[in-house]
Structure 1
């Protein structure tokens, strides 16, 4: 049975409503992404061949330790313990698990993810 929602946009079917809600969340995520201030890279870009990772962790997080351990085999990794402000910011972005990983090529973010993502880690350790 299809549910009809009465919204500001008018009456909508359930599928339409879910699509608009998803797009709204993505737009909100993109808006917050623009305001992200990532700490500066403390290594030497020459040693990193221009590519490096910044990882935000929380204390006692095994997934965080594993991510850092495996990524650091192939690229430079700076990691920071997320404070309450950073955690609140990530929650507003829709991120619910740690670590939060940003991959840079020189000064441009080329990839980002959260949680232990073995597929993403392999992408950067097999190059």
Structure 2
């Protein structure tokens, strides 16, 4: 299982997303798109998003992703991880 949060400096929704995962005992990989050029291409061209945070959840080869602060999706991932 991996949780990757694509973020940029000063992004409050990004910080809230990361904190919510950490509060549940999950440690996401954090990628700062302002310093990772390939990350911008990935989230915009491959995933189709124009805003951060972008969260990519990968478990057993199955991937889910979304953009923006989305408490329902965050909680869904937390529940899936707590169930195992």
- Shorter chain as normaliser: what TM range? 0.7 to 0.9
Mark the runs of 5 or more structure 1 residues left unpaired by the alignment: 1-50
Alignment check: 8 A CA contact 1:52 1:105 kept: yes
Alignment check: 8 A CA contact 1:102 1:109 kept: no
Residue in 2 that maps onto 1:61: 11
Matching residue within 59, 73, 84 for 1:120: 73
Aligned-pair Cα RMSD in Å: 1.9
| Matched residue count | 76
Matching residue within 31, 43, 48 for 1:80: 31
* Other structure's SS at 1:112 match: strand
- The higher radius of gyration belongs to 1
Give me the TM-score of the superposition, normalised by structure 1.
Answer: 0.51
Matching residue within 55, 68, 71 for 1:101: 55
Distance of 1:117 and 1:68 partners within structure 2: 12
Identify if the C-alpha distance between structure 1 residues 84 and 102 changes in structure 2 by more than 3 Å, giving closer, same or farther. Answer: same
Post-superposition Cα deviations, 1:56-113, rounded to whole Å, max 9, x if no partner, equal 101110010000000122322111101344224422242011011111225x243211
Query: Which has the bigger relative contact order, CA under 8 A and spacing at least 6?
Result: 2
